[in-house]
Copies of this chain bind each other. A is one copy, B any other.
């Protein structure tokens, strides 16, 4: 059981959404931020750098947005849908873009294939959280 799930189970108060969906989103965001940080660096090590520039930029954006989202959705009280909803929408959008770009490179680079999977899973987990948010 992930730390996110354990911690949500011990929260002193109501949580903003179903614990399972919330924990899945936090775990997927954390994995995705980590994968994007590593993939951007792996891209910088490839020969055909000019073709990897877009992938590097999207990975950096994706890591930044995922990291902020972990913080905001980890704070359960004082939940404000006016902040959390657009932030999750930004997450879904960047995970989609970054996943699509990684998919283009996946046949050539295994690191992009792994990163694509992390982005797709995170996009899906954020969509599910958006669907059940109070």
Contact = CB atoms under 8 A, between A and B. Distances in A.
Interface in A34-52: 34-35, 37-42, 44-46, 49-50
Interface core residue of A30, A61, A65 (most chain B CB under 10 Å): A61
Contacts of A86: 86-87, 89-90, 93
Given A35-B3, A57-B78, A11 B42 contact: yes
A4 B30 CA distance: 11
A79 B30 CA distance: 24
B111 A10 contact: yes
Interface of A: 2-4, 6-13, 26, 30-31, 33-35, 37-42, 44-46, 49-50, 53-54, 56-58, 60-61, 64-65, 67-68, 70-72, 74-78, 80, 82-84, 86-87, 89-90, 93-94, 97, 109-111, 114-115, 117-118
A11 to B, nearest CB: 6
A71 B37 contact: yes
Nearest to A43: B12
Most buried by B among A26, A34, A44, A61: A44
